[in-house]
């Protein structure tokens, strides 16, 4: 017999054999148990996670003559015909090759006819998002009200391209990407059944390289068996995938921990002789950094996949802050690696960024934050022998500003919003006989009386007595606080422009390189 690839040979034939999609299989089993089958199902998910497989199992289950625990029995005539591709009531279509509206109309011409063998006629449309707009329109009416003997099973990797009118008529199931552990366990089970020798580390590398797809993992496993002459060993998988052994990864991490750039670049140079996949190396580095970050938070958290001694050593030699920085730089570098002139230079720049952006702290470097230690030889009842000057805001109840210091009064009465805007556009005329008189800038358009009421209440609280607030709109020789702030801002802006224009470095750039200052780009530093 011709050799059958593992992906086809070990394709699940019932819900129990599905890997990592329990949420889908359990829902479908419950639907079969309670005889609550929807007329249209849509299975979505990335490539190789089992969309078409689940659809085929469901098609077989709803037509099986002798369900076992609501799984296809695999023994009746319907199940045998399914497995041999002779079941006449399964119409399986690849929408990628039949996108025209004429193909869809031809497909639906026989919908009204009863099934030949089973209870239901099944239309399984794979990659349904490839249908044209007219094809979806032709399918829509039948999909909404199909005959009782018809079920539609749709599968796609891109549900966003399907019209919402179609989505709303389907019961949708999203199949998950498989975890590396789930893929690894399935590969191990298959190799044991096939009586093929393997190394655990090799299977873990294949599981990671599959990127959530069990079909891709089985294809890689087929390739690894051939590459390793009937065995799956780490050396063969490493050569096949272009990955490197763990030791160079460890050397790179230790060079990062000690900030040794020479060792770092030497290790990368030795790696270049193996023509590795630098994206894979960066992913492995990120996995170790992730594990070190966990170890720093949970010391006794063990994982057999990583070298415990190395993880503990890195946890002590790399600070949590540096570790988070390395991880973030690595993630961004992984995204941008394809943009580099060549993979090696891109990888080297990612590593050098980790060293360059690492915060440098030395004993001679002044600290940006200094804490004043408390004296330990004093008690709570003792008083200092010498007075200590403490900068503090004056208490409004103790010291009041002079009447001409209206801006200081505004700061002291603690107002905000529209009330503060009103006060800033006034000038204090007088406070006498329990009456506060303010002169309002005529250019200020006051809206409503709420701001006046709030200002009156704030002044009464500040002076501790009832006040009558009188606001007159008239021009004054004095500048209002709002105009003073505007003038101060303009002066500050002009000073910043003058400082830039007088800067020797900027003048050199103008003279030697033809540089110019963009209008409006100068802002003062507050």
Taking only the tens place, the pLDDT of each residue in 178-235 is 988 899 999 999 999 999 999 888 898 898 888 889 999 999 999 999 988 888 988 8
* Segment among 51-65, 303-317, 391-405 with least mean pLDDT: 391-405
- The residue-averaged pLDDT of 121-143 equals 89
pLDDT for residue 30: 92
Q: Name the CATH architecture for the domain at 246-356.
A: Up-down Bundle (1.20)
263: CB partners within 8 A, 6+ apart = 251, 254, 255
In the chain, CATH 1.10.8.60 covers: 180-241
Phi, then psi, of 154 in degrees rounded to 5: -110, 145
Residues 6+ apart with CB under 8 A from 279: 334, 337, 343
Please tell me the predicted confidence (pLDDT) of residue 381: 38
Give the predicted TM-score (pTM) of the model.
Answer: 0.56
User: CA 304, CA 179: separation in Å to the nearest integer?
Assistant: 16
Which CATH architecture fits 180-241?
A: Orthogonal Bundle (1.10)
Order of strands across the sheet that contains 40-44 = 90-94, 121-126, 150-156, 40-44, 171-174
pLDDT over 70 percentage in the chain:
88
pLDDT at 329: 93
Give me the chain's average pLDDT, please.
83
370, pLDDT greater than 70? no
Give the separation between CA 229 and CA 183, rounded to whole angstroms. 22
b/e 154-163 (16+ beta carbons within 10 angstroms → b):
bbbbebeebe
Fold adopted by 406-478: GMP Synthetase; Chain A, domain 3 (3.30.300)
pLDDT at 328 over 90: yes
Where do you find CATH 3.30.300.150 in the chain?
406-478
Share of the chain above pLDDT 90, in %: 24
The residue among 275 and 363 whose pLDDT is bigger is 275
Q: What is the pLDDT of residues 394-446, one digit of tens each?
A: 434 334 444 447 888 888 888 888 888 888 888 888 888 788 888 888 888 76
CATH class of domain segment(s) 6-174: alpha beta
3-class DSSP state of 395: coil
Quick one: average pLDDT of 264-287?
A: 85
User: Where, residue-wise, is CATH 1.20.272.10 in the chain?
Assistant: 246-356
Is 365 a residue whose pLDDT tops 50? no
Tokens 């422009």 sit on residue: 497
Do the beta carbons of residue 42 and residue 255 sit within 8 Å?
Answer: no
pLDDT, average across residues 67-80:
87
Q: With 0-12 CB in 10 A as exposed, 13-18 as middle and 19+ as buried, what is 462?
A: middle
């Amino acid at each position: 017999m011709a050799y059958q690839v593992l992906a086809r040979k070990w394709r699940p034939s019932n819900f129990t054999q599905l890997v990592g999609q329990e949420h889908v299989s359990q829902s479908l089993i419950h639907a079969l148990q309670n005889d609550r089958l929807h007329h249209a199902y849509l299975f979505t998910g990335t490539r190789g996670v089992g969309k078409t497989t689940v659809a085929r199992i469901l098609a077989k289950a709803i037509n099986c003559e002798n369900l076992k625990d609501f799984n296809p029995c695999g023994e009746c005539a319907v199940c045998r015909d399914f497995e041999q591709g002779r079941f006449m009531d399964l119409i399986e279509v690849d929408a990628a090759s039949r996108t025209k509206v004429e193909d869809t109309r031809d497909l639906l011409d026989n919908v009204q006819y009863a099934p030949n063998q089973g209870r239901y006629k099944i239309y399984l449309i794979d990659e349904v998002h490839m249908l044209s707009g007219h094809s979806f329109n032709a399918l829509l009416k039948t999909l909404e009200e199909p005959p009782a003997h018809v079920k539609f099973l749709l599968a796609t990797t891109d549900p966003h391209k399907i019209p919402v009118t179609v989505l709303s008529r389907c019961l949708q199931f999203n199949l998950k990407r498989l975890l590396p552990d789930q893929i690894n366990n399935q590969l191990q089970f298959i190799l044991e059944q096939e009586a093929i020798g393997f190394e655990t580390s090799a299977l873990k590398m294949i599981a990671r390289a599959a990127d959530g797809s069990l079909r891709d993992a089985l294809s890689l496993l087929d390739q690894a068996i051939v590459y390793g002459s009937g065995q799956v060993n780490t050396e063969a998988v490493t050569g096949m995938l272009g990955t490197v052994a763990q030791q160079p990864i460890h050397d790179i991490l230790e060079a990062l921990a000690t900030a040794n750039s020479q060792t770092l670049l030497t290790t990368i140079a030795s790696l270049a002789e193996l023509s590795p996949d630098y994206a894979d190396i960066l992913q492995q580095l990120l996995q170790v950094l992730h594990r070190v970050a966990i170890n720093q938070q949970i010391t006794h958290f063990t994982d057999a996949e990583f070298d415990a001694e190395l993880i503990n050593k890195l946890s002590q030699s790399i600070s949590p802050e540096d570790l988070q920085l390395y991880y973030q730089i690595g993630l961004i570098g992984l995204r941008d690696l394809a943009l580099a002139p060549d993979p090696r230079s891109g990888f080297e720049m990612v590593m050098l960024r980790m060293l360059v952006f690492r915060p440098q702290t030395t004993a001679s470097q002044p600290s940006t934050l200094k804490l004043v230690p408390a004296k330990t030889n004093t008690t709570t009842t003792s008083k200092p022998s010498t007075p200590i000057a403490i900068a503090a805001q004056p208490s409004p109840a103790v010291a009041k500003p002079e009447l001409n210091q209206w801006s200081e009064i505004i700061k002291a009465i603690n107002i905000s919003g529209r009330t503060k805007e009103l006060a800033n556009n006034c000038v204090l005329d007088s406070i006498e006989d329990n009456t506060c008189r303010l002169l309002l800038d005529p250019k200020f358009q006051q809206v409503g009386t709420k701001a006046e009421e709030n200002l009156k209440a704030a002044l009464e609280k500040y002076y501790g007595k009832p006040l009558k607030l009188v606001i007159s709109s008239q021009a004054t020789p004095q500048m209002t606080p709002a105009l003073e702030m505007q003038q101060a801002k303009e002066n500050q802006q002009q000073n910043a422009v003058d400082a830039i224009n007088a800067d020797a470095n900027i003048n050199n750039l103008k003279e030697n390189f033809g540089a110019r200052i963009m209008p409006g780009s100068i802002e003062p530093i507050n």
